[in-house]
Amino acid sequence: MKIPLSQCCRCISTSRSLNKKVIPNNAKNKGVSSQLWLKRQLSDPYVEKAKQMNYRCRSAFKLVEINEKYKILLPGQTVIDVGAAPGSWTQVAVKEVNSKSDPVSTLERVGKVISIDRQNIYPIEGAVILSGMDFTEPKNQTNLKNELGGTKAHVVMSDMAPRASGIREMDNENMMKLCYSALRFAVQVSEVGATFLVKLWQCGQSKQLETDISRFYNNVKFVKPQSSRNDSAEVFILGRSFKGLKLS
């Protein structure tokens, strides 16, 4: 019997190791917030599992869980990963859509993954990487469209987040700007039936974003993977079955 990967992740450590208090040796000279972050990292089973599976960071398992439940990534699909650094979602997408294979030597359909981030992303076999490019700039969205080569995307997914200022209202507003930027792009490049996945922070504007996504996608819902930390305000909106744009 095949056990889902997300279930395996929840069982990777014994109860003893999961409950063990981890005290990092190099935390002495760090600030309080840095010490708390370091302790959390060292106690997090997903961090260790990411290392074991060669994922660049633990966020890979959020996409793994969503995909296991909703089957949004399939062989042969074209996927655009927005805010991709350091590349863990791209790694998952490459595997699931089979973009690393040679189309001549495989029986499965071969997909395509295009990833963009303003930060540098080290190359990932099977993915087209657009590093050092701010997705929100129109010229860089044009570069993305050029990489599509006239085809349409099956999945547009965004893990973007703004640099936190510490002012909640401002941070929420900036996050929403990124979400709507990803949505506007997705409806331009997606084929009918496509999927849109976007990260946001739970706030007063969340419901309005859900409503706006529903204008373009038939099935819309909030998703909170188990690998998303309990103390995190992040949540994802998943839009499936893109309706397409009606041109007047």
Instruction: Indicate if the alpha-carbon torsion angle 201, 205, 207, 211 is positive or negative.
Output: negative
For this structure, is 199 an active site residue? yes
Q: Cβ distance 81 to 89 under 8 Å?
A: yes
Backbone angles phi, psi at 144, to 5 degrees: -60, -45
Report how far residue 147's alpha carbon sits from residue 84's, in angstroms, rounded to the nearest whole number: 16
Annotated catalytic residue, options 62, 139, 199, 246: 199
Report how far residue 101's alpha carbon sits from residue 86's, in angstroms, rounded to the nearest whole number: 22
Report how far residue 67's alpha carbon sits from residue 240's, in angstroms, rounded to the nearest whole number: 12
Whole-Å CA distances, 133 to 100, 118, 140, 143: 23, 4, 6, 9
For residue 36, is it left (φ>0), alpha (ψ between -120 and 50) or beta? alpha
Positions marked catalytic: 199
